[in-house]
A and B are shown apart, each in its own frame.
Chain A
Amino acid sequence: MNQHNITILVVDDDKEIREAIGKLLLHEGYNVITAKDGMEALEAMAEHPVRLILLDVMMPRLDGLSATMKIREKNNIPIIILSAKGEDSDKVLGLSMGADDYVTKPFHSQELVARVKSQLRRYMQLGDMDAVKSKSRIVNGRLEMDLEAKSLLVDGEEAKLTPTEYKIVELFMKNLGIVFSAEKIYEMVWHEESYAVENTVMVHVRRIREKIEINPREPEYLKVVWGVGYKIEKERQ
C-alpha cells in the first residue's frame, strides 16, 4: 500500500497535539494536513483529498461531534474521534454520531497509529468485502471469520490462532453479543466436564486478545462480562 498518497486530516485546537500527531503519522509515511477547529476542517476537506480524519471533540467554533455530523452528510471516510472524555456513554455518543472509532486522551502513540491503520485497511477493502460475503463468512467490524478455511482475518490480515483459540473465537462469532460462562465455554470447546476452569479460559481469552485487539488492555471485541462470563461485542451498525 502506497501510503504517500494517503492524506490524513488532524483536527485539534491544541497546536502541540496537532503537530505531535502530524509528526507521528509522517513517520508512518502518511500525508498530513491540520485544522484547529471544525470549520477549518470542513474547509480543508473541500480542498484536499482526505482519506481519514482524526477529530478532537472539545473545540471552539464547531465542535468535533457537530463536525462529524456535517462530514457524514456527504462523506463516508473513516473518522476517529480523539477525546478527553472517557466514559462509555461518551463513546457511544461519538460512535452514534457517525464516527468509526473513539480514542481517549491521553493515548499511546502506537495505539493511535494502529487504529489509523486499521481504519484505513477496512476502508480500502470495503469494496471487495461485500463480494466475498457468504454463508461461510461471519463479518463483525474489524473481524472476519472464514468458517471453511477456519481462519480469522483482523483488518484483512490473518490472525495466527491456535486450534483451541480458533474454536473459542468461532463460538463467540457464531453467537455475537451472547455471554458464555467459563464452564460453558470449556464444555463446548474442550468437550470435557468443567471444574475450576476460570483460569484456563481467562488465559486463552487474554492470548486471543493479544492477537485481535489493538489495545488488549482495553478490548473492543472480546470482553469480560464481570460476574457472568465472556462475549464478543457485536459491532454497532
Chain B
Amino acid sequence: MKRKGIKILVWVLLSASLFMVGQTFVSTAYKAVTQQVNPECLFNADYASSDDLSNVARSIISELNFWQQDAADKPEFTTTPSLFHYYAANGSREITNSDNMVKADYLKQKFHYVLDVPADVNGAKTENTFRNVGADPVGNGKLYMSIPAETIAGWQKTWTQNRIYLEHQLLLILLWGLISLAFLVYIVIAAGRKAGDDQLHLLAVDRWYTEFLLALFVSLCVIFAYLFAGAFNSYYVFHWEELTPEAIGFSVAMATGVFMLSLMVMMPLIRKIKAGTFISGSLSYRILRRCWIAVKKTVLGLRSFFDGSAYKEHLLTKRLFRSQTVYILGSAGLLLFCVILSAASYSAFPVFLFIVLELIITWWYVAGNKKTYSEINEGYVESLKEQVKSENTKTALITNVSHDLKTPLTSIITYVDLLSNEEGLSDTAKDYVNIIAGKAERLKHIVSDLFDLSKSVSGNIPLEMDVLDMRTLMEQTLADMKDPIENSGHTLKTSLGQGTATIFSDGKKLYRVFQNIIDNALKYSLAGSRIFIDLTSTDGKVKVTIKNTAGYEMNFTEEEILQRFTRGDQSRSGDGSGLGLSIAESFTQSCGGTFQLDIDGDQFKVTVEFSTVETVGKESV
C-alpha cells in the first residue's frame, strides 16, 4: 500500500478512536452526574470511611439543625428517611422517625451522632462516630441520629458497583487514548514525508504565516471545547430532557470532527516546525526582521552619512566635506546657544545675533564651496579632454601607421607586377620576382591582420550586430572553405545538431573567427588526422568547439599562442601572419562571445561560446 493510503487510513482510525475516547468519557461523566456516582469510590473502596458518608451525615444533621432553629417546617432530607433514624427536640417540640428508640439505642449503632443539650447542664455532650462531622454543638436542643448497619451495607454494595464501573470506563478511556496517541504520533512523524526519500515535502499551505495557522488552530480548539462542554451544558444549564445516548453521540461526533479539523490545521504547523520555518515563516518575524533591517540600514546610513573617510583620498571633496560638517555643526551649535540665551534673557536680541552670525557662516560656506566646485569642474574637463585626446591619438596612430605601411607596399606590389610582365627577363630573375611577389603578398596579409587586430583590441572596430543563426553560419563557413579543407588532406568530423541557434552578433566578423580557427587547425594538424567541429545549443548558450591533434610538439601555453605574433611552430616559417588566433579571440570578444583555448598534450581545442537570443522577427526569407 502506498504511504498516502496508509496516512488516510490512520487519519480515519484516529478520528474513530478519538470519538471512542470522547463517547466513553462523556457518557461516563453524564452517568456520574445524573445517577450520583461519586468518583470518590475510585480512591476509597470502603464506604464507611468515605467522605460521601460524612456528607450524608452532615446533610441530615444540618437539616435537623434548621428545624431546631425554626420549627415551622418539617425537615426535608435528601436521603430517604427510612434508611436512618433521628430524633430532634426544640424546647417543647419533638420530631422523630423512630418513636420507640431512646438515646441508648442511638448510641448502640456503629454510626451515630448524639447531641444532648439540657438547659440546666453546663456544656453539651456530643457523641459522634462520623468522620469529618463537626463535634461541636450547634443546635439548641437534643439531636440524635444514627445510620443502621444494613443501610451502610447497602450503600457499600452500590459503592463497590460504581467503583467497578468507573474503573472499567477509565480503563477504556485510557486504552482508546493510548491508541489515539499512537496514531497521532504516527501522523506527526509522517507529516511532510514521502515514501522513498528523506526529503521534507512542503505544501502550498505551509507557506501561510504561522500566526494565521495558529489563530485558526486556536479558534478550532475553542469551538471543540465549546461543543464538548455542550454535551453537559445542554443538561445542566437548560435542564432539558435527559440526554439520550444518541444526543451524546452526536455531540461527541461534532466535537471529534472539530478536533480533527484542528489537527489538520496543526499539520502545516508541524511541517513548519520540521522545516524550521515555524518562527521564520511567521508574519511578526518578518515584520520585525524588516524593521530590524531598516533600523540597521538607517544606523549605517547615518554613520556613513557623517563619515568623511571616503573622501580622504580626494583633496577637493575632502575639503567640501569638511566645510559641510563645520557648517552643519556650527549652525546647530549657534541655534542651540541662541535659543538658550533667548530663553534665559527674555529678549529678542539673541535671535538677531543668530541671524547675523548664521548669515556670516553661510556666506563662508557658499563662497568656499564655489571655489572648490570650479576646481573640480576644471579637473573634470581636463580629464575628459585627456581621454578624448588619447582616444583620438590611438585611432589616428592606427590610421596613419596603416597608411604609411600600405603606401610603399602598394608600390612594391605594383612594380613587382610590372616587372613580372617585363620581357627578356632571365629565368633566375623570374624566380626572384616570383619570390618577391609571394613575400609582398604575405606582407600585405600581415599588415592587414595587424591592423584588424589593433583596431579590435583598442575597441576601434565598427560592428554590424544582427540576429543570426550560428548553425547556418558554421555551415556557410564550412561550405566556403570547402577547397582548402579538401586540399589539406584532413577529414572534418562535423556535428552541428538540428534547429536554430539564434545569436546576436556580427556575422562577417564571426566568419573571420571560424575561418581563422579552422585555417589554423588545417595548417598545424598531424598529417591525415581528423578535425572535430561540434555545435551544441543548451541553456541559452551556443557552444562551438574545434578540436584537432597537433602535428608537432606544442611547447607553449594557451597564453603564449594567443600573444601577438607568437606562432604555433615558433620558427616563423611558412605563410600566414601568426595573428589568426589572436584575431579570432579579439573578434569573438568584440562580438559579445567568449573564446577559450585548451591545450592538452597534442590535443588543441578552441571553444567559442555565445548567448542565444529569442527568435523574434528573423529577417531572412
A interface residues, Cβ below 8 angstroms from B: 14, 16-17, 20-21, 23-24, 27, 58, 84-89, 105-109, 175, 178-182, 184, 198-199, 201-203, 206, 224-229
Q: Are B620 and A228 in contact (CB under 8 A)?
A: yes
- Shortest distance between the CB of A6 and any CB in chain B (Å): 20
Q: Which of B453-504 contact A (CB under 8 A)?
A: 462, 464, 466, 468-470, 472-473, 475-480, 482, 503
Known contacts A226-B473, A227-B473, A228-B472: A108-B413 contact under CB 8 Å: yes
- The answer, yes or no, to whether B139 is at the interface (CB within 8 Å) is no
Give 8 nearest A-B pairs by CB, closest first.
Answer: A227-B468, A226-B507, A202-B479, A227-B473, A198-B475, A20-B414, A84-B406, A106-B410
Say whether B406 contacts A229, CB under 8 Å: no
Say yes or no for B619: interface residue by CB 8 A criterion. yes
B508 touches A226 (CB 8 A): yes
Bound-state Cα–Cα, A151 to B508, Å: 31
Q: Could you say which of B407, B444, B472, B511 contacts A198, with CB atoms under 8 Å apart?
A: B472
**Contact partner of A17 among B407, B468, B472, CB < 8 A?**
B407
Which one of A84, A85, A109, A180 lies within 8 Å of B414 (CB-CB)?
A109
> Interface code B583-621, partner A: CB below 8 Å = 1, 0 otherwise?
000000000000000000000000000000000001111
Would you list which residues of chain B between 494 and 548 have a CB under 8 Å from chain A? 503, 505, 507-508, 510-511
**Are A58's CB and B418's CB within 8 A?**
no
Contact B619 A182 (CB under 8 A): no
Chain B residue with Cβ nearest A224: B476
Q: Which among A27, A87, A107, A229 is the interface contact of B472 at CB below 8 angstroms?
A: A229
* Residue among A17, A180, A202, A227 with the highest chain B CB neighbour number at 10 A: A227
B403 touches A84 (CB 8 A): yes
Is B476 in contact with A226, judged by CB distance below 8 angstroms? yes
Residue of A with least CB distance to B464: A88
B307 contacts partner chain A, Cβ-Cβ < 8 Å: no
Q: Check: B152 CB closer than 8 A to any chain A CB.
A: no
Minimal beta-carbon separation of A17 from chain B (angstroms): 5
Q: Are A24 and B510 interface neighbours, CB within 8 A?
A: no
User: Are B470 and A23 touching (Cβ within 8 A)?
Assistant: no
A181 cross-chain contacts in B, Cβ below 8 A: 472, 620-621
B411 within 8 A of A: yes
Interface pair A106/B472, CB less than 8 Å apart: no
Identify 26 residue pairs between A and B in the complex whose beta-carbon atoms are under 8 Å apart, listed by A's number: A17-B410, A17-B414, A20-B414, A24-B414, A85-B403, A86-B448, A105-B409, A106-B410, A108-B417, A178-B621, A179-B619, A180-B621, A199-B478, A199-B479, A201-B479, A203-B479, A203-B482, A206-B480, A224-B476, A224-B480, A225-B507, A226-B511, A227-B476, A227-B503, A228-B618, A229-B621
Q: Which residues of B contact A229 (CB under 8 A)?
A: 472, 620-621
Chain A residues in 8 Å Cβ range of B414:
17, 20-21, 24, 106-107, 109
Q: Which residues of A contact B411 (CB under 8 A)?
A: 14, 16-17, 20
Docked pose: A84 CA to B410 CA in angstroms: 9
Q: Is B570 part of the binding interface, using a Cβ–Cβ cutoff of 8 Å?
A: no
Minimum distance in angstroms from A71 CB to a CB of chain B = 23
Contact of A23 (CB < 8 Å), options: B413, B418, B448, B469 = B418
How many angstroms from the CA of A87 to the CA of B455 in the assembled complex? 11
A227 cross-chain contacts in B, Cβ below 8 A:
468-470, 472-473, 476, 503, 505, 507, 510
**CB neighbours of B573 from chain A (8 A):** none
> Which residues in A have their C-beta under 8 angstroms from that of B444?
106
Verify B479–A179 contact, CB threshold 8 A: no
Compute how far the CA of A105 lies from the CA of B472 in the bound complex, rounded to whole angstroms. Answer: 32
By the criterion CB–CB under 8 Å, are A16 and B505 in contact? Answer: no
* Residues in B lying within 8 Å of A, measured CB to CB: 399, 402-403, 406-407, 409-415, 417-418, 421, 444, 448, 462, 464, 466, 468-470, 472-473, 475-480, 482, 503, 505, 507-508, 510-511, 618-621
Q: Which residues of A contact B464 (CB under 8 A)?
A: 88
Q: Which residues of A contact B418 (CB under 8 A)?
A: 20, 23-24, 109
Cβ-defined contact, A58 with B476, below 8 A:
no
List the B residue with the shortest CB-CB distance to A178.
Answer: B621
Residues on the B chain within 8 Å of A27, using CB:
421
A216 to chain B, nearest CB (A): 12
Given contacts A224-B480, A226-B507, 11 further A-B contacts (CB under 8 A): A105-B406, A106-B409, A107-B410, A179-B620, A180-B621, A182-B472, A182-B475, A182-B476, A184-B621, A224-B476, A228-B472
Contact call A180/B403, Cβ cutoff below 8 A: no
Among B414, B448, B464, B469, residue most surrounded by chain A Cβ atoms (within 10 Å):
B414
- Give the docked Cα–Cα distance between A67 and B617 (Å): 43
Measured between beta carbons, the chain A residues less than 8 angstroms from B468 are 225-228
B462 and A88 contact, CB distance less than 8 A: yes
C-alpha spacing A182/B413, complex, angstroms: 38
In the complex, residue of chain B having the shortest beta-carbon distance to the beta carbon of A85: B399
Q: Is the Cβ of B402 less than 8 Å from the Cβ of A89?
A: no
Chain B residues closer than 8 Å to A180, beta-carbon distance:
620-621
Q: A105-B406, A180-B621, A181-B620 are known contacts. Are A228 and B469 too (CB-CB below 8 A)?
A: yes
Distance from B464 Cβ to chain A, minimum over Cβ atoms (Å):
8
**Minimum C-beta distance from B445 to chain A (A):** 10
- CA distance in complex: A10, B58 (Å): 145
Tell me the complex Cα distance, A231–B383, Å.
47
**Given A179-B621, A226-B508, A227-B470; A202-B476 close (CB under 8 Å):** yes
B480 engages A202 (CB within 8 Å): yes
- The residue in chain B whose Cβ has the minimal distance to the Cβ of A180 is B621
Tell me the complex Cα distance, A21–B415, Å.
9
Q: Considering the complex, give the chain A residue whose CB is closest to the CB of B508.
A: A226
Contact with B406, one of A106, A175, A199 (Cβ below 8 angstroms): A106
B403 touches A58 (CB 8 A): yes
A14 / chain B contacts, CB cutoff of 8 Å: 407, 410-411
In the assembled complex, how far is the CB of residue B446 from the closest CB belonging to chain A, in whole angstroms?
12
Expressed in whole angstroms, the minimum distance between the Cβ of B332 and any Cβ of chain A is 61
CA distance A199 to B414 in the complex (A): 36
The answer on a CB contact under 8 Å between B421 and A20 is: no
Closest to B514 in A: A226
Cβ of B507: which chain A residues have Cβ within 8 Å of it? 225-228
Which residue of B has the minimal Cβ distance to A199? B479
Question: Does A199 lie within 8 Å of B621, measured CB to CB?
Answer: no
CA separation between A44 and B505, bound complex, in Å? 47
Assembly CA distance A128 to B59 (angstroms): 144
Looking across the interface, which residue of chain A has its beta carbon closest to that of B473? A227
A228 and B407 CA atoms in complex are apart in Å by 36
Cα A203 to Cα B478 in complex, Å, equals 11
Q: Which residue of A lies closest to B402 (CB)?
A: A84
CA–CA, A202 and B411, complex, Å: 35
Chain A residues within an 8 Å CB radius of B505: 227
On whether the beta carbons of B415 and A20 are closer than 8 Å, the reply is yes
